[in-house]
Structure 1
């Protein structure tokens, strides 16, 4: 089998089981990976608009709005009006920041366990390859 096929076959074979296990971890806080991704983005980069989040997740604004609304309902994010009243700014709430820290610890442990036995060099090569592929999509 050609190496490019093997690369994508292995990625596909790993993706669903990884997401399923990640969702199981996140379920203790009533979160999904899509919602976690929003919290991760806001934690790393600060408050974002719905449009910014949609671009980051590569989904339509109505989908992002539903995900953000669930995070609001959970008390994990807050919405503030921007300079233009039509623009909504999303930021982590105090509770969201606390939950982020607790989940980050669990996810770090999970990911470290999965990558045990894989050298730092190998991890960096895989990360670089995936980033290159992602930039072409």
Structure 2
């Protein structure tokens, strides 16, 4: 196996196990990691359209749509009219805002546990390497 193949396989496996672990921690609190990504984005960025959310999170629109339906059913988001009659903005409900502290704490504990043995310097180095891979992937897609 080539080094590049080993690297990308390890990257995929790492993302999968992180996602699985986060889902396991969040599930008793009624949400999943994919939903947390949307919630935290809306909390930080404010209301946005479904398309803008998909673009910002780099997630396929149908996957975002599916998560938004679940979040709406749980009463954690609302869709409000935008500037254009056809446009709806997604915003957090008060219930989601109230729960964010608990979810953020769970995510923080999970993050600290999986990064436990990496120094700040190693974390910064890894972040830079992953950003380079991400940018290369974006360029390749164009």
Report the equivalent of 1:74: 74
Residues 34-92 of structure 1: CA deviation (Å, up to 9, x unaligned): 21111121111111101101212334434322211211111111111001111111111
Secondary structure in 2 aligned to 1:136? Answer: helix
Report the equivalent of 1:83: 83
Deviation of residue 120 (structure 1)? 0.1
Whole-Å separation in 2 of the counterparts to 1:115 and 1:60: 28
Contact 1:76 1:99 in 2 (8 A): no
Contact 2:26 2:106 in 1 (8 A): no
Name stretches of at least 5 consecutive residues in structure 2 with no aligned partner: 138-142
Secondary structure in 2 aligned to 1:84? Answer: coil
Report the equivalent of 1:96: 96
Contact 2:77 2:96 in 1 (8 A): yes
Secondary structure in 1 aligned to 2:80? Answer: strand
Secondary structure in 1 aligned to 2:85? Answer: coil
Number of matched pairs:
137
Contact 2:50 2:61 in 1 (8 A): yes
Deviation of residue 132 (structure 1)? 1.7
5 Å-filtered alignment, 1:1-137, equals: 3-137=3-137
TM-score, with structure 2 as normaliser: 0.85
Deviation of residue 6 (structure 1)? 4.1
Cα 1:13/1:59, change in 2 over 3 Å? closer
Whole-Å separation in 2 of the counterparts to 1:97 and 1:84: 26
Whole-Å separation in 1 of the counterparts to 2:13 and 2:70: 30
Across the aligned residues of Structure 1 and Structure 2, the Cα RMSD in angstroms comes to: 1.8
TM-score, with structure 1 as normaliser: 0.88
Contact 1:49 1:87 in 2 (8 A): yes
Whole-Å separation in 1 of the counterparts to 2:61 and 2:6: 34
